[in-house]
Amino acid sequence: MRKRKILIVDDELSVRQSLGEWFREDGFEVETAPDGTSALMKMETGPYDIAVIDLKMPGMDGITLQKRIREIDKSSAIVILTAYASVETAVEALKLGAYDYVTKPVDPDDLSNLVRNILRQQELSEENVRLKEKVSELSLSAPIIGNSLKMRRVLELINTVAETDSTVVILGESGTGKELIARAIHGKSKRRFFPIVAVNCGSIPETLLESELFGHEKGAFTGAQYRRKGKIELADGGSLFLDEIGDVSPKMQIDLLRVLETRRFTRLGGNQEISSDFRLICATNKNLDKLVEDGVFREDLFYRINVFSVPLPPLRERSDDIPLLARHFVEKYARAMGKLTKEISPEAAALLVSYRWPGNVRELQNAIERAMVIGREPQIVPADLPLRLEANNSDPNERTLSALEKDHIEGVLREHDGNVTQAARVLGIDRGTLYNKMRKYGIGREA
Amino acid sequence: MSDVVYVSFLSEYSPAWADSLAPCVAQVLGHPLMKTEITVDLEPYYAPERNQYHATLILAGLLRHLPEDGSKIVGITQLDLFVPVLTFVFGQAQLNGHGAVVSTFRLKNEYYGLPADEEMTLARTVKEVVHELGHAFGLVHCRDYRCVMKASTYVEDVDLKQASFCGACRELLDTTINEETLHRSK
């Protein structure tokens, strides 16, 4: 359990010393400050669980200091300490969000109860946040469907690696279920009672990614009105899932490498080193070896993250699993839409199995969702499936992969009247990737 | 400096009572205790506005009398002790340091209007002396209500806890004592 931190602000040295000693004996990490200005400087080394503030001090008084601390850190419990009890100041302090108000000298039992109540409330709040994250994780996690040899091998790898604390890199095309595998590894690991914090490195601009990962102090940049914990800090005790690690900029690669080596970092605009005990799980659809060879991805970072790799097969290489997956999605959407579950007609099943699924499981899922929405028959029939499934089945063996991909993209764009966002969603790739492919194949929006 | 832990009575106690305290504390602590006769003038530490004595200042005065071969010293007094921010303290110690002071003032039944009970006072004093020496050996408060390192703010809390360490505190104390012994032998 981490050591709780307390800041004691009082202009009397004897009060700082005796209260400090009392809290040290109680297992706290104690910092003291003789006035408001020094206290605000000490806040930089925070966060503090409790701040005990004397009401009357030369210079900045306790109420003003309380307001300033609240601007920096909303989570510290503030206790106002004074030699002169007055209802007005007590009410004002409490209105401004102080936890409580005590008069000097304090009965040790009152102080002990006050601290116990603060810690109990903070523990409950932290537990509440953890449980909410856990519930959201559980609701997001889906079972891994697949009985093919390749998927059985993946499941074996998950079981092997989950028991260790090693860094894992999950490799696979878009839509193969890399995040699902990451959550399964976390869910089977000893860290499962702590959160798994996911960050998609490919979808966030570099400057935002830095703040997202490392957090920031108040005033670190325009708009940073409050101190904010980053994903690395939030993953303390649990797992950090960095998706699309291959898309991380060279500068961010250096920052990440430093964190992975020391498990320590500083928030943006801060100077206090923070440690976080997390297990790293990465994923990418890129060929990391190639990126290292091309000098785009740092070799030292590559070796740091590539401790254990889990390659995920594309759906076309495990077509045995397609009927199982299709059945699973039919049942899932029937439940979600409040409809009766449907059988898949033999013709539709044959189409599903023979299609190459460049968007992998995500594309299959979208196709089944669409069929459940538009289908009027008691069974899913070929007419309920996207047109491209039939078009794609014409002599695929005689054509190159590029030609098939080009046709497929054109087909999907046509189906969605050139809407790139919708087409990208169906194809299971992001818009940027789709634009790149459209440029590569000379495809216009009117395709 | 050797690893002797000294106990010194800063007030007058019956010899029988005082003689029985050190062996009891030593047994719980698992470390020998030696009695030392010292004279500390406590009057400068009196605060007339509170009618109490300043524990921190007494502790500082006591430390000046730590014998050369001693690693720690604990003073026992019948006076009512305080630290500036608290209404009273049963005792005070230097965390991970060399000294501690314990008051029997509020450990006696008479303070609560009950008939005197020397055995009860002895049992309570043993617990508080062990508790404060535990702090001097670097231990902090324990959450286990039976452990002697549980914080006590009422005399009932002192009665509730036992004159023994929980497993975790015992282990930590033994490690500290062994490390201190090893450090001194070097």
- pLDDT band at B85; cut points 50, 70, 90: confident
- Fill in the amino acid letter for A40: L
Q: Does B86 contact A17 at a Cβ distance shorter than 8 Å?
A: no
Three-state secondary-structure class, residue A210:
helix
Strand B81-82 with B70-77, pairing? unpaired
pLDDT score recorded for residue A314: 93
Q: Concatenate the DSSP letters of all residues of A78-135 into one string.
A: EEEEESS--HHHHHHHHHTT-SEEEESSBPHHHHHHHHHHHHHHHHHHHHHHHHHHHH
pLDDT score recorded for residue A70: 85
Q: Concatenate the DSSP letters of all residues of A153-165 into one string.
A: HHHHHHHHHHTS-
Q: Give the strand order in the sheet containing B99-103.
A: B33-35, B4-9, B70-77, B99-103, B91-93
Q: Give the strand order in the sheet containing A168-171.
A: A196-200, A239-243, A279-284, A168-171, A308-311
Cβ-count burial of B137 within 10 angstroms (0-12 exposed, 13-18 middle, 19+ buried)? buried
Q: Does B86 contact A22 at a Cβ distance shorter than 8 Å?
A: yes
Kindly report the backbone phi and psi dihedral angles of residue A65, in degrees, each rounded to the nearest multiple of 5, phi listed first. -60, -40
Which of residues 33 through 62 in chain B touch A, CB cutoff 8 A?
A: 50, 56
- CB-nearest to B151 from A12, A24, A26 is A26
Kindly report the backbone phi and psi dihedral angles of residue B92, in degrees, each rounded to the nearest multiple of 5, phi listed first. -145, 145
- Fill in the amino acid letter for A15: V
Cβ-count burial of A14 within 10 angstroms (0-12 exposed, 13-18 middle, 19+ buried)? middle
Q: Does A18 contact B83 at a Cβ distance shorter than 8 Å?
A: yes
Three-state secondary-structure class, residue A29:
strand
Q: Does A112 contact B135 at a Cβ distance shorter than 8 Å?
A: no
Residues sharing a CB contact under 8 Å with residue A327, sequence separation 6 or more, in sequence order? A344
B8: left (phi over 0), alpha (psi -120 to 50) or beta: beta
Residues sharing a CB contact under 8 Å with residue A186, sequence separation 6 or more, in sequence order? A162, A192, A196, A238, A239, A241, A279, A281
| β-bridge partners, A132 | none
Counting Cα atoms < 13 Å in the Cβ hemisphere of A424 gives 14
B151 vs A contacts (CB less than 8 Å):
25-26, 112
Please compute the mean of the pLDDT values over residues B80-87 and round it to a whole number.
92
Cβ atoms within 10 Å of A75's Cβ, excluding its own: 13
- pLDDT band at B1; cut points 50, 70, 90: very low
| β-bridge partners, A54 | A81
CA geometry: angle at A368 spanning A366 and A372, to 5°? Answer: 115
Q: Does B86 contact A108 at a Cβ distance shorter than 8 Å?
A: yes
pLDDT score recorded for residue B102: 97
The per-residue pLDDT for range B168-177, each reduced to its tens digit, is 999 999 999 8
Q: How far is A81 from chain B (nearest CA, A)?
A: 9
What is the chain A residue with the closest CA to B133?
A25
Counting Cα atoms < 13 Å in the Cβ hemisphere of A438 gives 24
Which of residues 140 through 159 in chain B touch A, CB cutoff 8 A?
A: 140-141, 151, 153-154
Best mutation target, A21, A102, A106, A116, to test chain B (most B CBs within 10 A): A21
Residues sharing a CB contact under 8 Å with residue A392, sequence separation 6 or more, in sequence order? A355, A356, A404, A407, A408, A411
What is the chain A residue with the closest CA to B84?
A15
Exposure string of A211-220, with b = 16+ CB inside 10 Å and e = fewer, is: bbbbbbbbeb
Alpha carbons B172 and B186: distance in angstroms, whole number: 21
Strand A279-284 with A239-243, pairing? parallel
Residues sharing a CB contact under 8 Å with residue A435, sequence separation 6 or more, in sequence order? A420
The per-residue pLDDT for range B105-156, each reduced to its tens digit, is 999 999 999 999 999 999 999 999 999 999 999 999 998 999 999 999 899 9
Q: Does B86 contact A18 at a Cβ distance shorter than 8 Å?
A: yes
- CB–CB of A3/A27 below 8 Å? yes
Q: Does B153 contact A21 at a Cβ distance shorter than 8 Å?
A: no
Kindly report the backbone phi and psi dihedral angles of residue A148, in degrees, each rounded to the nearest multiple of 5, phi listed first. -70, 160
Alpha carbons B6 and B30: distance in angstroms, whole number: 14
- CB–CB of B21/B88 below 8 Å? no
Beta strand ranges found along A322-405 (DSSP E): 343-344, 379-380
Catalytic residues of B: 132
Three-state secondary-structure class, residue A293:
helix
Interface of A with B (CB under 8 A): 12, 14-15, 17-19, 21-22, 24-27, 81, 104-109, 111-112
* The pTM of the whole model exceeds 0.80: no
Cβ atoms within 10 Å of B181's Cβ, excluding its own: 14
pLDDT score recorded for residue A94: 85
| β-bridge partners, A380 | A344
B169 vs A contacts (CB less than 8 Å):
none
Q: Which two tokens stand for residue B110?
A: 């008479």
ipTM score assigned to the predicted complex: 0.81
Q: Does A25 contact B135 at a Cβ distance shorter than 8 Å?
A: yes
Alpha carbons B53 and A189: distance in angstroms, whole number: 56
CB pairs under 8 A between A and B: 59
Kindly report the backbone phi and psi dihedral angles of residue A190, in degrees, each rounded to the nearest multiple of 5, phi listed first. -70, -10
pLDDT 10s per residue in chain A (447 long)?
A: 567 899 999 998 988 988 998 899 888 899 999 999 999 988 877 789 999 999 888 888 888 998 888 888 888 899 998 877 677 777 888 888 889 888 888 888 888 888 889 988 988 988 888 787 777 666 556 678 888 889 999 999 999 999 899 999 999 998 999 998 999 999 888 888 888 999 999 878 888 899 999 998 887 777 777 778 899 999 999 999 999 999 999 999 999 999 999 999 999 888 888 899 999 999 999 999 999 999 999 999 999 999 999 999 999 999 889 999 999 999 989 988 888 888 899 989 988 988 888 899 999 999 999 999 988 888 899 888 887 776 655 555 556 777 778 878 888 887 777 888 888 988 888 888 898 888 888 887 665
- pLDDT band at B63; cut points 50, 70, 90: very high
